Amino acid sequence: MQIYFAPLEGITGYIYRNAYEDYFGGIDRYYSPFVVTRDGGIMKNKEKNDILPERNSRISLVPQLLSSHAESFCRAAGQMEALGYQEVNLNLGCPSGTVVSKGRGAGFLGRMDDLQRFLEYIFERCTCRISIKTRIGMESPEEFGHILEIFNQYPVSMLVIHPRTRNEFYKGKPHMEVFDYAYGHSKNPLCYNGDILSVQDCQMISERYPALPAIMIGRGLIARPGFTGNGERKQAFAEKETVQKFVERLLADYRAVMSGDIHALFKMKEIWLYMAPHFTNYERYLKKIKKTNKLAEYQKTVADLFEKEELFSYNS
C-alpha cells in the first residue's frame, strides 16, 4: 500500500515537503495544497513558487487545483503539464465557507448537475491524468451513492476519499461504512484519507481493504513525522534527535525565504500545535511557543522540550 502525504494549506508547502523527505522519506506522493484557477491561467507567484519543478525535484508531487470553471481548470492543467506534471488533482473536499459559497471544493458536491458537466468537459479535453480528492457529500453520507455513480463514468486516475461530509468539517468519526461502499463499487483506484494517526491505524486500513492501492495521511504525519516508517531508515525515526534536526531545519529554511522572523515563527507555531501533544509534559512548552514573538525565546523553549521531555512511541 502506497503512502501519500495529504495537502495541508499553509503547512505542506515545498519547504516542509523537502525537509520531510530529507529526514523521514517513505512517502510515495505528496499532494500540493490547492492552487485556485483563474480565468487567464492559474498562478499567483506564491502559488507558482510552490509548484516549480526545481523546488520539488527530489519528491513525487501532484499539483492540486481548486476550480469550478472547466475551461480554467483545463488551462491550469495545461500549465502544470508544461511544467512536467503528468497528473493534476481536483479538490472536491475543501469545506471552508468562502470556498463552498463559490461552489468550489466540497461546495461542488451540492451542485451535482454542474459537477457532471464540469467532469464531462475536463475529462474530454485535458491530456494529463486527473485524480480527485473528495468528501462524501455536503450534508449527508447518503449523498455518496449518487456522487460515486458520477465518478464511475470517468477515468479518474485516483479517487481519494475523506469519508466525512462538508458539514462535518473534521468533527466526529469518518464514515467507514461509506468507504466500504466505495471499496465495493468504485470503478477507479481508491485511496483512503482521514484520521490515520498511528501504525495501528495503517494496519487497520490495510486489513479492512487488502486491495487498496494507497492511503493518504495529513495531520498524523505533521503530529508525528515519520511514524509510517520506511525500511532502511526506520531506526532514525525512533530518535527524538531526528525530529529535533527536522524542526531546526524547517525554521532555518523558513527564515531564509520569509521577510522577518515573525513569519517563520508563525509557521513553526502552527506545526507545534500538532506535534507538541506527542511529548511528555508538553503543555507549558506549547503555551510558551504559542505566546512568544521572539525567535530566541522560541528556540530556547524548543531546545528545552527536546532536552527534558520524551516523545511518545510511534505506536501510541
| Interface positions with ligand FMN (CB under 6 A) | 6-10, 33-34, 64, 91, 93-94, 133, 162, 193-196, 217-220
Please, which residues have CB within 8 angstroms of residue 9's CB and are 6 or more apart in sequence?
Answer: 33, 34
C-alpha cell at 109: 458536491
- Judged by beta carbon, residue 75 or residue 162, the one nearer ligand FMN is 162
Three-state secondary-structure class, residue 29: strand
Closer to ligand FMN by Cβ: residue 216 or 289? 216
CB of 294 to ligand FMN, least distance (A): 25
- CA-based torsion, 57, 58, 63, 64: positive or negative: negative
Helix (H, G, I), strand (E, B) or coil at 56: coil
Among residues 107 and 194, whose Cβ is nearest to ligand FMN?
194
Name the residue nearer to ligand FMN (CB basis): 104 or 162: 162
The answer to whether the Cα torsion of 171, 269, 98, 197 is positive or negative is negative
Task: Determine contact, residues 96/105, Cβ cutoff 8 Å.
Answer: yes
Which residue lies nearest ligand FMN, judged by its C-beta? 218
By beta-carbon proximity to ligand FMN, the closer residue of 10 and 41 is: 10
Identity of the residue numbered 84: G
State the minimum distance, in angstroms, from the CB of residue 7 to ligand FMN.
4
Nearest Cα neighbor of 267 from 14, 5, 3, 84 is: 14
* Residue 150 Cβ vs ligand FMN, minimum distance, rounded to whole Å: 19
